[in-house]
């Protein structure tokens, strides 16, 4: 059972006020408990939590490089197995480390079937290096390497579907979660670490600095992502979608308007075609995962 | 009784006797026979290790890093491009002070692609903070693995090591090798019991980042531990000699040095050829000797300077080239002899598997006597 009062991610770290990733770390560890070893990839979370000689991690923690967290976790898991130890191994990595530079190591570790849980805190760009686009950056988001300009609306590609890629590796448990739904998030972590084999959780973690909103809005914005269908919370058991968070959908505009990374879609003039394209992404998500709650007509 | 055995298989047997708990490796010529042999041992319950068949060398060393931090003795082997792919992890493993032992079956680096021997691969990682041992023959390559684990896991060292042996020239060659027994090795090499490891009962953080207030001191401590490991190598070598009779305690080893006027300096299998050439030159009345470098990192500057103090001239044989400059060993020798007035000539030879024969060694001695030939030796000018 998840102990909601357990605090394994200590305060005093250097994250921005309202950081979704810091909230994610705290909630993940509540779900995982004390018998856990965390492997981190280079990124914001690693940097804000472990400036030598201080650490926020009250569980054993290791960071090696940007792209090798799942290979390091493979070794940790093999070592524990050989020693007959019971700790659960969790990787905590950002979307750049997961969607892009770490793909090779992730694919290898999942194919080999190591018993570990890979958690990607997805803030949809390289935040640690100053908000550059990654394979997780949504369509039309303005970043420092996909800036909106007089002949660009920002990032030209939709998000890569990592959960499907990992499900295709035969992962027994794949889930998406959000910092806006902490109880659901903690339960999913608990479920993943208790499922033998490689499991994957992709965790939506808004970044106030990178997305351009006030720190107190983090949870509200994460919630709006779900309510508009731009982020879908679901589970996949053995590759089949099992549980989906259903919503009464709001127009994507309500989400886009809250963040400076989409500001160019509204100012200096409203870009109807682009907003419609993003609405189409949400509609496709809604259809694919069946998230719509149909309201009875009055 | 020595057994006639292929170098790779002799090394694999030594690794087995060291009882690694986690092995992670990726196949690459000419390292493959080692990792195949280890896989077979695991498959037949002759080695109780978890063998991770990773998808790249980069992951091989990363997995070893994780396993070592979690408290297991770990092993990997690679060469050339594989080692180049590990570049980033190599610095990391050493900086995190994890005592991983890795065999390097030395091979050239591309381009152009070459599967044949030189020592460019491990030399290119000379600044990564690993210990580097170079073996002259397969007996030495085999025994150096015991010594490497013993030294690396010493609480005052806690650093990783390359055990380098020349690809094909040693890895695929049958030589008589005397193997230790499990009881012998258990007596010499205690179980790996690091004071600090990933452990839920005693949580610590590994691999934190260091600000400018601390980084400089981390590097100093690393450098000091590497330099100080020389005395541990000597001690471990002496104890090995006491138990098993073969002495590897000298970080540099002389051959006909005492009255030598021209001294060749070399590392690896080329030392064997050089010794044969020296025997023939001695028989013809030439006062030639060899100084073999067994440990390239930490570099034994003082021992080398002392051993070469009586020479009239030095000819360094480098199976590597720092392009745009000179060979790595020549660099070190010139540094060690700075101010001595002894001329040092550097010869780049045997790159990408080019044979080095006794007559080449003799020719180089002749060149050194004339004070000539710094640079590439034995160029086929007709293809240039």
pLDDT in tens, A165-189: 999 999 999 999 999 999 999 999 9
Chain B partners within 8 Å of A58 (Cβ): 203
| Cβ-contact A145, A129 below 8 angstroms | no
Does A47 lie at the interface with B, CB-CB under 8 angstroms? yes
The helix/strand/coil state of B111 is coil
CA distance A103 to chain B (A): 11
Q: Which domains does chain B have, with CATH numbers?
A: 3-244 (3.40.50.970), 252-383 (3.40.50.920)
Position A93 pLDDT exceeds 80: yes
Range of the domain at A276: 20-289
Residues 6+ apart with CB under 8 A from B13: B5, B37, B142, B179
Does A57 lie at the interface with B, CB-CB under 8 angstroms? yes
The answer to whether position A163 is within a domain reads yes
Q: What is the dihedral of CA B215, B221, B226, B227, to 10 degrees?
A: 120
The answer to whether position A12 is within a domain reads no
Element (H, E) at A217: none
User: How far apart (Å, rounded) are the C-alpha atoms in residues B330 and B338?
Assistant: 12
Does A51 sit within 8 Å of B55, measured CB to CB? no
Chain A partners within 8 Å of B200 (Cβ): 34-37, 59-60, 87
Query: Residue A73: which of B48, B66, B205 has the nearest Cβ?
Result: B66
Does A71 sit within 8 Å of B62, measured CB to CB? yes
Position A201 pLDDT exceeds 90: yes
Does A107 sit within 8 Å of B58, measured CB to CB? no
CA distance A253 to chain B (A): 40
Residue B247 confidence (pLDDT): 98
Tokens of B259: 């009255």
Rg (CA), chain A: 19
* Best CA proximity match to B164, nearest among B216, B107, B113: B107
Tokens of A273: 């075609």
CA distance B140 to chain A (A): 29
The answer to whether position A28 is within a domain reads yes
CA distance A90 to chain B (A): 12
Give the Å distances, CA to CA, from A272 to A133, A211, A284, B189.
Answer: 23, 21, 18, 72
| Cβ-contact B297, B251 below 8 angstroms | no
Select the residue from A9, A41, A61, A78 to test the B interface by mutation, using most B Cβ atoms within 10 A. Answer: A78
Q: Helices (H) and strands (E) in chain A — how many of each? A: 11, 10
Q: Where are the alpha helices (DSSP H) in A84-169?
A: 95, 103-112, 162-168
User: How far apart (Å, rounded) are the C-alpha atoms in residues B357 and B378?
Assistant: 11
Does A129 lie at the interface with B, CB-CB under 8 angstroms? no
Element (H, E) at A271: none
ipTM over 0.95: yes
Does A104 lie at the interface with B, CB-CB under 8 angstroms? yes
Does A68 lie at the interface with B, CB-CB under 8 angstroms? yes
Tokens of A7: 């605090």
* Best CA proximity match to A9, nearest among A55, A77, A64: A55
What's the pTM? 0.97
Does A76 sit within 8 Å of B67, measured CB to CB? yes
User: In a 10 Å sphere around its CB, with 0-12 CB exposed, 13-18 middle and 19+ buried, how is residue B243 labelled?
Assistant: middle
Give the Å distances, CA to CA, from B41 to A76, B17, B18, B27.
Answer: 22, 11, 13, 16
| Cβ-contact A278, A253 below 8 angstroms | no
| Cβ-contact A98, A162 below 8 angstroms | yes
CA distance A7 to chain B (A): 14
Give the chain B residue nearest A86 (alpha carbons): B200
Does A46 lie at the interface with B, CB-CB under 8 angstroms? yes
Give the chain B residue nearest A61 (alpha carbons): B205
The answer to whether position A101 is within a domain reads yes
Does A64 sit within 8 Å of B198, measured CB to CB? no
The answer to whether position A124 is within a domain reads yes
* Best CA proximity match to A23, nearest among A5, A41, A40, A11: A11
Q: Give strand pairing partners of B153.
A: none
Query: Residue A78: which of B50, B58, B59 has the nearest Cβ?
Result: B50
Write out chain B's pLDDT in tens, 384 residues.
899 999 999 999 999 999 999 999 999 999 999 999 999 999 999 999 999 999 999 999 999 999 999 999 999 999 999 999 999 999 999 999 999 999 999 999 999 999 999 999 999 999 999 999 999 999 999 999 999 999 999 999 999 999 999 999 999 999 999 999 999 999 999 999 999 999 999 999 999 999 999 999 999 999 999 999 999 999 999 999 999 999 999 999 999 999 999 999 999 999 999 999 999 999 999 999 999 999 999 999 999 999 999 999 999 999 999 999 999 999 999 999 999 999 999 999 999 999 999 999 999 999 999 999 899 999 999 999
Helix B138-152 vs helix B7-17: angle between axes, to the nearest 10 degrees?
30
User: How far apart (Å, rounded) are the C-alpha atoms in residues A180 and A112?
Assistant: 33
Q: Residue A66: left if φ>0, alpha if ψ -120 to 50, beta else—which one?
A: alpha
Chain B partners within 8 Å of A37 (Cβ): 70, 198, 200
Does B59 sit within 8 Å of A71, measured CB to CB? yes
The answer to whether position A189 is within a domain reads yes
CA distance A1 to chain B (A): 18
Select the residue from A71, A92, A109 to test the B interface by mutation, using most B Cβ atoms within 10 A. Answer: A71
Select the residue from A34, A79, A85, A88 to test the B interface by mutation, using most B Cβ atoms within 10 A. Answer: A79
User: How far apart (Å, rounded) are the C-alpha atoms in residues A269 and A272?
Assistant: 9
Give the chain A residue nearest B87 (alpha carbons): A65
Does A72 lie at the interface with B, CB-CB under 8 angstroms? yes
Position A298 pLDDT exceeds 80: no
The count of other CB atoms within 10 Å of the CB of residue B287 is 16
- Listing DSSP states for B359-372 in one string gives HHHHHHHHHHHTT-
Does A73 sit within 8 Å of B89, measured CB to CB? no
The answer, yes or no, to whether the previous bond of B298 is cis (omega within 30 of 0) is yes
3-class SS string, B64-82: HHHHHHCCCCEEEEECHHH
Tokens of A24: 């994610």
Position A221 pLDDT exceeds 80: yes
The helix/strand/coil state of A47 is helix
The helix/strand/coil state of A189 is helix
Does A78 lie at the interface with B, CB-CB under 8 angstroms? yes
Residues 6+ apart with CB under 8 A from B218: B95, B210
The CATH number given to whatever domain includes residue A128 is: 3.40.50.970
Residues 6+ apart with CB under 8 A from B273: B356, B357, B358, B361
Give the chain A residue nearest B93 (alpha carbons): A64
> Taking an 8 Å Cβ-Cβ cutoff, which residues of chain B contact chain A?
21-22, 24, 48-50, 52-56, 58-59, 62-72, 74, 88-89, 92, 96, 198-200, 202-211, 214
User: How far apart (Å, rounded) are the C-alpha atoms in residues A231 and A252?
Assistant: 11
Chain A partners within 8 Å of B210 (Cβ): 52
Give the Å distances, CA to CA, from A127 to A122, A123, B87, B140, B197.
Answer: 10, 8, 26, 50, 31
Q: Residue B129: left if φ>0, alpha if ψ -120 to 50, beta else—which one?
A: left
User: How far apart (Å, rounded) are the C-alpha atoms in residues A189 and A192?
Assistant: 5
Give the Å distances, CA to CA, from B130 to B138, B186, B209.
Answer: 21, 24, 20
Q: For chain A, what is the domain count?
A: 1
Does A75 lie at the interface with B, CB-CB under 8 angstroms? yes
User: How far apart (Å, rounded) are the C-alpha atoms in residues B124 and B106?
Assistant: 11
């Amino acid at each position: 059972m998840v102990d909601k009062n357990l605090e394994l991610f200590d305060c005093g770290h250097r994250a921005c006020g309202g950081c979704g990733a810091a909230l994610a770390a705290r909630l993940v560890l509540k779900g995982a408990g004390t018998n856990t070893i965390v492997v981190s990839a280079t990124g914001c979370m690693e940097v804000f939590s472990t400036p030598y000689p201080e650490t926020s991690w009250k569980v054993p923690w290791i960071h090696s490089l940007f792209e090798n967290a799942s290979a390091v976790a493979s070794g940790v898991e093999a070592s524990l197995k050989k020693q007959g130890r019971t700790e659960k191994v969790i990787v905590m990595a950002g979307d750049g480390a997961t969607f892009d530079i770490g793909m090779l190591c992730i694919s290898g570790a999942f194919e080999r079937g190591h018993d570990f849980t890979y958690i990607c805190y997805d803030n949809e760009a390289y935040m640690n290096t100053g908000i550059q686009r990654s394979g997780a950056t949504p369509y039309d988001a303005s970043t420092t390497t996909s800036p909106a300009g007089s002949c660009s609306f920002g990032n030209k590609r939709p998000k890569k579907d990592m959960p499907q890629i990992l499900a295709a590796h035969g992962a027994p448990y794949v889930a998406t979660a959000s910092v806006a739904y902490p109880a659901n998030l903690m339960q999913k972590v608990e479920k993943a670490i208790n499922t033998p084999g490689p499991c994957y959780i992709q965790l939506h973690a808004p970044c106030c600095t990178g997305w351009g909103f006030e720190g107190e809005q983090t949870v509200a914005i994460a919630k709006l992502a779900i309510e508009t269908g731009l982020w879908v919370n679901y589970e996949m058991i053995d590759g089949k979608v099992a549980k989906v968070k259903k919503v009464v959908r709001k127009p994507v505009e309500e989400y886009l308007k809250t963040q400076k990374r989409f500001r160019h879609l509204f100012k200096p003039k409203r870009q109807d075609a682009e907003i419609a394209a993003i609405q189409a992404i949400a509609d496709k998500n809604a259809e694919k995962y069946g998230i719509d709650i149909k309201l009875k007509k009055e | 009784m020595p057994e006639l055995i292929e170098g790779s298989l002799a090394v694999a047997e030594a690794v087995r006797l060291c009882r690694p708990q986690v092995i992670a490796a990726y196949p690459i010529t000419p390292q493959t026979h080692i990792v195949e042999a280890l896989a077979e041992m695991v498959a037949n319950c002759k080695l109780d290790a978890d063998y991770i068949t990773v998808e790249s060398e980069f992951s091989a060393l990363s997995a070893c890093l994780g396993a070592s931090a979690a408290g297991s003795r770990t092993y990997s082997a690679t060469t050339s491009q594989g080692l180049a792919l590990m570049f980033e992890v190599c610095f990391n493993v050493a900086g995190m002070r994890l005592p991983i032992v890795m065999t390097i079956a030395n091979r050239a680096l591309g381009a152009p692609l070459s599967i044949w021997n030189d020592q460019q691969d491990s030399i290119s990682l000379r600044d990564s903070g690993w210990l580097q041992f170079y073996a002259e023959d397969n007996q030495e390559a085999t025994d150096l693995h015991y010594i490497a684990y013993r030294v690396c896991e010493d609480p005052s060292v806690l650093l990783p090591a390359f055990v380098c042996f020349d690809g094909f020239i040693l890895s695929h060659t049958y030589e008589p090798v005397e193997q230790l027994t499990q009881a012998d090795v258990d007596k010499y090499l205690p179980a790996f019991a690091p004071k600090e490891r990933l452990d839920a009962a005693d949580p610590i953080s590994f691999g934190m980042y260091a600000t400018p207030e601390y980084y400089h001191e981390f590097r100093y401590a690393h450098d000091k531990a590497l330099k100080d490991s020389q005395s541990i190598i000597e001690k471990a070598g002496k104890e090995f000699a006491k138990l098993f009779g073969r002495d590897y305690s000298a970080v540099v080893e002389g051959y006909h040095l005492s009255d030598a006027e021209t001294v060749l300096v070399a590392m690896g299998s080329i030392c064997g050829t050089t010794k044969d050439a020296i025997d023939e030159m001695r028989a013809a009345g030439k006062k030639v000797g060899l100084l073999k470098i067994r440990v390239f990192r930490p570099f034994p500057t003082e021992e080398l300077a002392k051993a070469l103090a009586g020479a009239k001239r030095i000819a360094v044989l480098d199976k590597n080239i720092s392009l745009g400059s000179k060979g790595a060993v020549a660099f070190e020798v010139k540094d060690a002899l700075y101010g001595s007035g002894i001329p040092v000539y550097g010869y780049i030879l045997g790159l990408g598997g080019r044979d080095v024969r006794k007559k080449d060694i003799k020719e180089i001695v002749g060149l050194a006597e004339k004070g000539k030939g710094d640079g590439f030796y034995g160029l086929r000018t007709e293809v240039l």
